[in-house]
Amino acid sequence: MAGNSTDYEYAPYSVDRNLQDPDLYLNRELSELQFQKRVLHEALDERNPLLERLRFLAIFTKNMDEFFMKRVGGLNQQVEAGVTGVTADGMTPEGQLDAVLEEARPLFERQAACYREEIRPALAEAGIEIVDYADLTPEQEAAVSDHFERDVLPTLTPLSFDPAHPFPFISNLSLSLAVLTRRPGADEPTFTRVKIPQNQERLLEVAEGRYVLLEEVIRANLGTLFPNTEVLETALFRLTRNAEVRRNEEVAEDLIDMIEDVIEQRRFATVVRLDIEAGAPDRILDVLTEQLDLAEREVYELPGPLDYRDFFELTDLDRPDLSLSEWSPQPHPRLSGEEHGFDHRYDIDATGSEFDLFSEIRRDDILLHHPYHSFDDTVQRFLDEAAHDPDVLAIKAAIYRTASDSQVIESLIEAAENGKQVAVMVELKARFDEQNNLEWVHRLEEHGIHVAYGTIGLKTHTKTALVVRQEDDGVQLYSHVATGNYHSETAKGYVDLGLLTNDRDIGHDLVHVFNFFTGPALDEEFRTLLIAPVTMRQQFTRFIRREAAHAQNGDRARIVVKMNALEDPQIVAELYRASAAGVEIDLIVRDICRLRPGIEGLSETITVHSVVGRFLEHSRIFYFENGGEPEYYIGSADWMTRNLDHRVEAVTPVEDVRLREQLRFTLEVMLADNRKRWVMQADGRYEQCRPAEEPVRNTHRILMDAVRDAKTAEDAVRGMVSAYPVEADLLVESRDERTE
């Protein structure tokens, strides 16, 4: 493919170091765990409100579950298959697995200690008690026992393991109670598994502000579940299963059948982690490890609770004294019509004229920034109006993930019912969303919508939509190119960008991308978009080498990139060469980063930052100084091998000067953050920035304030400047100047 070409117009800057040296690359799995450590820090940080700390305990559990299902599961498969090849950092799968399991254990222990020693006592002091069953008053115990018999007991199904019963299947991530019982006259105890129901409230409120965990209620009432039987010992446990179960797409006769098979296989996949209560009886532990075929290193003995995900429920309590200030995503001033005297509630002005969304996009490009801007009032509105506009001829959209009750899908269905030509690319291989996406495929096809399921060998990860509209001067193309999914719920907590544009070249390129989803091949050339896997790698490589050439010529050379992950060794090598040539480079990388900053003669001009706070940073921004003619790009791709070579991705230039200003100030605010920003050291560790005498600068807080107070798009930029007075141009000044 063109994306693998090494002829990029600018020759790579020559360095003395061997860029194949494993010491120059950090391990991606250990780098991911460094990110999870930063996530856990938000729970440990006493400067955060108490319920926000509790929320991050739950987020950490969710993240680590996914890490073990995907990454540890994949390493296990490689080890079992006898794979001995090494990664760019020189580690074998076995070596990585050993290092990951060793690194993860203290993180789980710190999470448990944080809850028991800090957060739980602090919650109790604030009037939110999570008590042990033994601490219930007699009246509360009676009420809970009644609730157990009436509502819980009928849902429980004890599954015993004995000569007459096989070892029960235990589902992924389910919380269970292992019970050893003895019947009268029996010589040996019986092992029984009791699943804690996932469709019942886990935090039972026994009095105002007082809660007991459902698993403790069940444990305390086992005598009712096992009548005429002696309960000997119990232990809570929880399994994590491998999610890396796949089938060869080349031999799959039907992609939908393949995905359904993968979902089914995942239910029964091998176990990669057992969490079990600290002090669990040996007899219970022996049964579980033997039947589940687990090594000692795969067992995590931890004080309860073993699953913090349900604590999300408490974070919604009406306790503003314990929470961050509420945030409601704001209408975009351009799309609400307020800039032109329209009332955004009715979209009419004082003369009764209607606000025309498509005319507004045609007037100038519009930059959306979620969750600062409302998804419903921007992206959803764009699709809604297209669905009902009589002049719209066709709508095309690429769906990677979407909400289970997606209004986006409903709008596409309404468009088809209104006679529009509708084509939807639904990525069935979007991990953990396969079932949801399968259901949407069936809904769409029931309404006569043409659905493409994906492509052989490639995932479709673009976040794009195209509206084709008949207007007086001919057919116009309205494009949405974004960094985030068409998912109304995640848009409330994920930081993402999107460009709404009438640019003909962008629209033309999207036409060809969408045609690829149903046609035989992907074009090798595009007018303006960077498209993976055909042009993106070579163009980004060209941009990096161009900066190195400017530095060699004595011109100012600067790269600032914001992304989720920097994993691709070839790109890392290009950045090393550019730094050695003198290019000033700032990398704002949320989690995985293979590059080592601060290596003498190789990466001294590179700084790696990571911002972790109330919102999940998910947007990608690419800035290249280009000899005083800066270029800005946004899009769906990280600098990972999978994104550049194995996925269909789209990155768009941002040409409008006002929109560039918004991107510029967003980057500047992040580079100046002294509250939620971390800076990587050469050994891969991160140190958090802390304000000394200067005012606190929190990226999310500054951008929230700026957007909330904005009445026009220009107000948003001015708001950023006033919230954080920029005394110097951080985007183009040198690293040394910035850190003095």
Tell me the sheet residues that pair with 161. Answer: 191
From 366, 437, 374, 446, select the one nearest 652 (Cα to Cα).
366
User: What is the rounded distance in angstroms from the CA atom of residue 380 to the CA atom of residue 491?
Assistant: 11
**DSSP symbol at 14:** P
From 627, 430, 487, 615, select the one nearest 543 (Cα to Cα).
627
Residue 614: CB atoms within 10 Å: 21
The CA-atom distances, in angstroms, between 439 and each of 266, 413, 436, 719 are: 18, 14, 5, 43
Residue 54, Cβ density class (10 Å: 0-12 exposed, 13-18 middle, ≥19 buried)? buried
Phi, psi of 412 (to 5 degrees): -65, -40
Phi, psi of 614 (to 5 degrees): -65, -30
How far is Cα of residue 510 from the mean position of the Cα atoms in its chain? 25
**From 147, 370, 461, 609, active-site residue:** 461
Phi, psi of 273 (to 5 degrees): -160, 135
Break the chain down into helix, strand, coil percent, rounded to 5: 40, 20, 35
Cβ-proximal residues to 226 (8 Å cutoff; 6+ apart), any chain: 158, 179, 181, 192
User: What is the rounded distance in angstroms from the CA atom of residue 692 to the CA atom of residue 700?
Assistant: 20
Specify the residue for token string 């297209």. 386
Residue 320: CB atoms within 10 Å: 11
Mapped onto helix, strand or coil, the DSSP state of residue 610 is strand
How far is Cα of residue 217 from the mean position of the Cα atoms in its chain? 34
Q: Peptide bond before 533: cis, by omega within 30 degrees of 0?
A: yes
Mapped onto helix, strand or coil, the DSSP state of residue 183 is coil
User: What is the rounded distance in angstroms from the CA atom of residue 257 to the CA atom of residue 725?
Assistant: 57
Residue 438: CB atoms within 10 Å: 17
Measure the N-to-C terminal CA separation of the chain; round to a whole number of Å: 45
User: What is the rounded distance in angstroms from the CA atom of residue 213 to the CA atom of residue 311?
Assistant: 10
From 526, 505, 574, 539, select the one nearest 644 (Cα to Cα).
539
Mapped onto helix, strand or coil, the DSSP state of residue 29 is helix
Whether 616 and 493 have beta carbons less than 8 Å apart is answered as: yes
Phi, psi of 384 (to 5 degrees): -60, -50
**Burial track 452-465 (b if 16+ CB lie within 10 A, e otherwise):** bbbbeebbbbbbbb
Whether 720 and 737 have beta carbons less than 8 Å apart is answered as: no
User: What is the rounded distance in angstroms from the CA atom of residue 73 to the CA atom of residue 245?
Assistant: 9
| 646 labelled catalytic | no
User: In the chain, count of helices (H) and strands (E)?
Assistant: 23, 27
The CA-atom distances, in angstroms, between 735 and each of 15, 107, 553, 606, 609 are: 21, 33, 19, 8, 12
Mapped onto helix, strand or coil, the DSSP state of residue 198 is coil
Whether 27 and 96 have beta carbons less than 8 Å apart is answered as: yes
The CA-atom distances, in angstroms, between 312 and each of 60, 316, 569 are: 12, 7, 38
At how many degrees (to 10) do helices 536-552 and 569-581 cross?
10
From 201, 182, 200, select the one nearest 191 (Cα to Cα).
182
Phi, psi of 529 (to 5 degrees): -70, 150
Active site residues: 461
